[in-house]
Structures are given as structure tokens and as C-alpha cells.
Chain A
Amino acid sequence: MPAVKTIQSRTVVIPATNIDTDQIIPARFLTSTSRAGFGKHLFADWRYDSAGNPKPDFALNKPEANGASILVAGRNIGCGSSREHAAWALMDFGIHAVISTEFADIFRTNSLKNGLVPVLVDENTHAWLLAHPQAEVAIDVEHSTLSLPDGTTVKFPLEGFARFCLLNGVDELGYLLSQDAAISRYEEMAADEQRRR
């Protein structure tokens, strides 16, 4: 997982509420056995017409979206399927942070495990961002702040452990493996209980 300290970018706005992971990456693209290459299918059914041509009105197809790495999405982004391919597709496309007022649980977890920063903001900040596509904003992971073009900064929630992983580009598996002794103790205790029964 790549380390991420700050993200500075124009935003791209997909205002729909309840964007489910079937929209982010439709199921027919999930037969891959690799993590790579999902970006070209990101939002496939919203992005392309039935002939496979880009729909000019869709936010990601507009010229000004080119190079934008922060997605502003409607409330409850990532609901539905647990497919981590949704986070992979966003990252592969070049999105490094998602801003919304509500994140579905599994999508938020999957995002953090891939260095995709979920930025939870209040309604007012969200409303301003929805109304101002291509706003130049900056995300500071260490201080968990989002800076708006007028210089104001808002805090977003990010627990210490997740922050550490993002800043250092380490995933959680290393930490879990370091708990081996505790896991073994738990397993022995559980086996003892089983034997006593």
C-alpha cells in the first residue's frame, strides 16, 4: 500500500446519494484474479453507453475531471456488496480520496486498507463541495484536515491506527502477524475449553 500524507487536487463531483459498489464496479468485471486494471471499468454503466462510448455528461468523462484525484460523492457512498474491487477501481483510475457525509462500513474499511482516504464531512461543507466541482482542495492525513479554497480547514475523523497505516504505507497484516503470541494463547485457551467440555 502506498504511503499517503497529503493530497492536493481539483475535485470531481458525483452527487448521487447511495452510490452502491455495483455502480462503482459492476459484477461482470469481478472475474479477474488480480487487483490491477479495474480503473477502466470504474462506473462502467454510468460512464459508457451501450456501444462502449463515453457519455459526455458523466462527471468522470468531462475534460476538467482529467487528473482530479479527489471524488466528492453523495451521502452513503459504497453501500451494498463487500467487493474491495470498488476501492481498487477508484485507486486504479487515480482517485485517492473520497469525500462524503456518510460511508458504508465495508467500503470505508476496504478504502483504508488500500490507501484510499475516506473524508467524512458535515452537511454544510458537503453542500458547498457539491455546488463547486473542480474546487482546489487539500487533504492532510497527519492532521486529518480538509482545506477549502477560501483557506478554511475542517477536521475529519481518522483514528490513530488508520492514520499510522496511511502515513507509513503499511497495511494491517504486519501488525496482526506481530500479535502471533496473543493469538496462540487465545487458541490454546479455546482448545482447553473444548477439552474440558
Chain B
Amino acid sequence: MSTSPKTMFEKVWEDHIVVPETVETPAVLFIDLHLTHEVTTPQAYTELRNRGLRLRRPDLTLATMDHSTPTRTEQVFGGVPIAIDSAARQVQQLEINAREFGVELFNLQDSRRGIVHIIGPELGLTQPGKTIVCGDSHTSTHGAFGALAFGIGTTEVGHVLATQCLLQRRPKTFAIDVVNRLPAGVTAKDLILAIIGRIGVSGGTGYVLEFRGEAISAMSMDERMTICNMSIEAGARAGMIAPDATTFAYLEKAPRAPKGAAWDVALERWKTLPTEAGANFDRSVEIDAATLVPMVTYGTHPGMVAPVTGNVPAQGDAVFQKALAYMGLKAGEPIQNVPVNNVFVGSCTNGRLSDLRNAARVLRGHKLAKGVKMLVVPGSQNVKKAAEAEGLDRVFLDAGAEWRESGCSMCLGMNGDLVPTGHYSISTSNRNFEGRQGVGARTLLASPETAAASAIRGRVTDPREFSSN
């Protein structure tokens, strides 16, 4: 029997159908891994309690604390109370819920704790071909391993807790073909910002993206995660990258990946996942990586992005005018004119060890410009420990930056790590929405390298000026 060539998405989707979709009803889709955290689960557990339901698959559920948790060491380990009472209550509630429903929890002091999208891959729970969900839109990160991973709301969190399934309509597929290699000094973050700039912040709505091509194949897993992480900033709930030797080498070392004979079997199966030649995508776009330079956002969504060597666009629509007014920028002005008051290195986008290494490489031997505050927040406690073993913490501290415990921190400022009103923040995170990092905060998204270079100069800076480091 011959079948038409399939995309990777189609294979993973079809493998997880419990009940097929019809015109009237969505498919029942089985979920292999449910990652959870303190902010988007309490109401779901309340629902389970109210209905007298149990957690169906504790073995496929993992809980961590990341969004509202403090990053100050004394509040994490030193017995000093969490500064925000409601955040402290949320953390306590997760401990109660995890105990009551039998969920494995990495609590505040656990050495395995970290941002949910950093620890899944770190543990090796994120694997090719799995369906992975979490009450967080950046769940798309896990697609870097060839998993189908997407963010869900709290009601759906409850559905997965109770049934290990979700009701889903099959999304469309969108191939992002990245031809050629990225030039030296241009990073995965620059590429994904360029892609979002090209297809727009709703260009991926209704689609699952597949990133492929020479530049993607050449990337490390950390870089691939940065790419897939920001799929949602183009409106796509999920982004995927075909598993290959790089993926397998990463997972082979991970503590909870299959071992021994199970590894061999898993590997054989994972190798069958990539999109077959001739498979049809609903939409595709081609991006030439060789033409790219470091990118920085200037506006209030991630699609408002310009080359670090360029200018704020000279003109635009009402959205553009409103964004510029918020950002306090003038149409047509050079991006490198923009001052920087705050620098944030961290988040599920760029909080992995290689990101910290890249920022440290630029920063080594330099001091922060006068008046600049810089916060470096590792993505997980494991990342923190590994960075300290290499002395990266010293590089940041010597430059005048702060070195904190892991968490989402200043990406969304839920824990009180905030950018003051009117300040410019160059941030390695994923969203430059109005108020995202604090009321009136002006966020510019960029790579760790660009953030570090800008910290040294006190204005937006092309990191390639520091490439001799």
C-alpha cells in the first residue's frame, strides 16, 4: 500500500489520535508529557477537586516553580520570606496540589528546579515524536526536538490532568525554509526575530511551523530551542525541527531519556519522524540566512524588528505610530542611538548555558556603562551550577551585573524583577509588549551577545564590534 509523503507534524499528530475528528467534533489527542507550574494550574486543581476527579497520569506530569518565584538567593534558600505575599501563596498552593494529586514537584529549593521549558529538555523528558503541553505559550520550545508541543489555557490544563487528553482541531502546516548558513556573529535569536518580522505576529496563526534548511541543521539544540520558543510570537502554537544526530547526542546524555535497549529502540523510531521528501505543506516561505545581521526590536511586538546596523523605519501605520510613542523613539532614527538603562539576560528563550557563555564572552574584561543595571538569571538551577563551574558568574559580577537564582524573572516581572517606567531594557526574552517588563518599561528584544555589547556601551550596540573577545 502506498501512502502520500507525510510531514513530521502529520506523523506525530496521527500517532496520538485517540478518537478522530469529525465535521462536528474535534479529535481527542493523547498527551505524552504535561509540564506544569504554579501560575496556570491552581484553578485547574480546584476544578478537579470540585468534580471529585483524580489525576489520570501522574507518571506523565511534572511540576516546577518558575513564573512568580523570587530570584534573590536569600528568598530562595536563606529563609527570607518571598517578598510578594500572593506569589508566596501561589507557591504554597502548588506544593499542596502536587502532594494531594501525586505530582512530582521540583520545589523552590530543588536543585533540578528551573523554567519549565528549560528543565524538560535538560532532563531528557522532551523527546522526538512526543505530544507535550503546558499552561504556557512558550511550550513551543520543545518542538526543537521534533515533538509536537504547544501552550494551553488553564481549562485545558484541567482536561489533561483529568484525562491525559485534549480536544483539538488539526492545525495547518507551514514550512520555514532557512537556506544557507548564518554569518559569523549572527545568532539563532537574530534569525527568529527576522522570521517574525517577515511573516508577522499573526502570520503563523492556525499553523504548526516546521523550521528546516541548512542554517537550522547546523544549529545546536540550544539554538534550535531559541528558534522554536518564539514560534508563538508569529502566532503559531507550535514550531518543530526534525530530530537528527545533534538531537540524539543531546538526549543520550540526559538523565531521563531512554537508556540501554530502550534507547536503541527509541532511536530507530525517532529516525522515522522527519518530513518525507515531497510532503505537502499548506504554506511555505524561504529565508536566506546568509543575508542576516544582528536584529533588535524597536516597537511593542516582536515583529517590529530592525537590523542593529539600521534605523527605525521612516514611516508606518497607526500601530507603528502608537508603538513609537510608547517607546519614545523617532521614526527613521538609527537603532544604535537608543539608550539602554537595563539589561536582562535569561528566560526560556535565551537562558541556557550557551546563552550565558555567549553573553559572558562579549562582557569579559568590560564593565557595565555608567547607570546601566544588568540582571543575569540562569534558566535553571542546573544551568546556574554549570555556569558557575565555568566561572561565568565571575564574569558577570566583575562587570557589575547581578547574578540570580533561576526563574522567568524579568521576562514578565511577575516576581517583582521589574524595569522602571520609561527605562529602556535590552532583553534576551521573547516579548516587548507594552508593560511586559514593568508598567511603562520600554523593551528591546535581542540576542545575549547584543544585550551584553549594549550593556558595555549603554546604548544599542552591534555585538560584532566585540568579536575579537
Q: Which residues of A contact B (CB under 8 A)?
A: 16-18, 20, 22-23, 26-28, 30-35, 45, 50, 75-76, 79-85, 87, 102, 104-106, 109-110, 113-114, 159-161, 171-173, 175-177, 179-180, 182-183, 186-187, 190, 197
CA distance A105 to B237 in the complex (A): 7
CB pair A84 B433 closer than 8 Å: no
* B433 CB contacts on chain A under 8 angstroms: 20, 22-23, 80
CB pair B153 A110 closer than 8 Å: yes
Which chain B residue has the least Cβ–Cβ distance from A110?
A: B153
- What would 10 more interface pairs be, CB under 8 Å, given A106-B137, A113-B153, A179-B165? A27-B413, A31-B90, A33-B89, A80-B433, A82-B40, A83-B40, A173-B47, A173-B51, A179-B18, A190-B30
CA distance A7 to B208 in the complex (A): 34
Interchain nearest-CB distance for A31 vs B (Å): 4
CB pair A102 B413 closer than 8 Å: no
Interchain nearest-CB distance for A42 vs B (Å): 14
Interchain nearest-CB distance for A80 vs B (Å): 6
* B232 CB contacts on chain A under 8 angstroms: 80
Q: Mark B390-428, 1 if CB is under 8 A from A, else 0.
A: 000000000000000000000011100000010000000
B274 at interface (Cβ–Cβ under 8 A)?
A: no
CB pair B30 A79 closer than 8 Å: no
CA distance A80 to B233 in the complex (A): 6
B1 at interface (Cβ–Cβ under 8 A)?
A: no
CB pair A172 B435 closer than 8 Å: no
Q: Which of B87-109 contact A (CB under 8 A)?
A: 87, 89-90, 93
CB pair B414 A30 closer than 8 Å: yes
CB pair B414 A106 closer than 8 Å: no
Q: Mark B248-282, 1 if CB is under 8 A from A, else 0.
A: 00000000000001100110000000000000000
Could you list 15 examples of A-B contacts with CB < 8 Å? Answer: A22-B431, A22-B433, A22-B436, A32-B86, A35-B46, A45-B434, A81-B136, A81-B137, A82-B40, A105-B235, A109-B153, A160-B25, A179-B19, A182-B19, A190-B30
Of B155-163, B365-373, B378-386, the stretch lying at the interface with chain A is: B155-163
CA distance A85 to B136 in the complex (A): 12
CB pair B156 A26 closer than 8 Å: no
Q: Which residues of B contact A (CB under 8 A)?
A: 18-19, 23-26, 28, 30, 39-40, 42-43, 46-47, 51, 53, 56, 67-68, 84, 86-87, 89-90, 93, 135-137, 151-156, 158-159, 162-167, 169, 201-202, 205-206, 232-233, 235, 237, 261-262, 265-266, 301, 318-319, 322, 412-414, 421, 431, 433-436, 439-440
CA distance A102 to B440 in the complex (A): 27
Interchain nearest-CB distance for A148 vs B (Å): 24
CA distance A182 to B46 in the complex (A): 26
* Contact flag A82-B90 (CB < 8 Å), given A75-B202, A179-B18: no
CB pair A31 B84 closer than 8 Å: yes
CA distance A53 to B143 in the complex (A): 44
* Contact flag A34-B43 (CB < 8 Å), given A104-B205, A109-B153, A173-B158: yes
* B18 CB contacts on chain A under 8 angstroms: 179, 182-183, 186
CA distance A104 to B234 in the complex (A): 10
* B84 CB contacts on chain A under 8 angstroms: 31
CB pair A76 B155 closer than 8 Å: no
CA distance A77 to B40 in the complex (A): 20
* Contact flag A80-B431 (CB < 8 Å), given A18-B319, A113-B156: yes
* A173 CB contacts on chain B under 8 angstroms: 47, 51, 155, 158-159, 162-163
Partner of B414, one of A28, A76, A105, A109: A28
Interchain nearest-CB distance for B268 vs A (Å): 9
CB pair B39 A84 closer than 8 Å: no
Interchain nearest-CB distance for B91 vs A (Å): 9
Which chain B residue has the least Cβ–Cβ distance from A190?
A: B30
* B42 CB contacts on chain A under 8 angstroms: 33-34
Interchain nearest-CB distance for B207 vs A (Å): 9
Interchain nearest-CB distance for B305 vs A (Å): 14
Partner of B40, one of A20, A80, A84: A84
CA distance A26 to B434 in the complex (A): 10
* Contact flag A50-B421 (CB < 8 Å), given A18-B201, A76-B201, A104-B202: yes
Interchain nearest-CB distance for A167 vs B (Å): 13
* A20 CB contacts on chain B under 8 angstroms: 301, 431, 433
Interchain nearest-CB distance for B386 vs A (Å): 28
* B201 CB contacts on chain A under 8 angstroms: 18, 76, 79
CB pair A31 B153 closer than 8 Å: no
* B431 CB contacts on chain A under 8 angstroms: 20, 22, 80-81
* Contact flag A33-B154 (CB < 8 Å), given A16-B322, A179-B28: no
CB pair A79 B155 closer than 8 Å: no
CA distance A123 to B125 in the complex (A): 44
CA distance A180 to B42 in the complex (A): 24
CA distance A180 to B30 in the complex (A): 12
Which of A17, A33, A102, A106 is most buried by chain B, counting CB atoms within 10 A of its CB? A33
CB pair B235 A79 closer than 8 Å: yes
CB pair A31 B439 closer than 8 Å: no
CA distance A34 to B43 in the complex (A): 6
Interchain nearest-CB distance for A196 vs B (Å): 9
CA distance A84 to B151 in the complex (A): 11
CA distance A159 to B26 in the complex (A): 9
Which of A23, A27, A50, A179 is most buried by chain B, counting CB atoms within 10 A of its CB? A27
* Contact flag A105-B206 (CB < 8 Å), given A45-B435, A76-B235: yes
* B440 CB contacts on chain A under 8 angstroms: 50
CB pair A33 B93 closer than 8 Å: yes
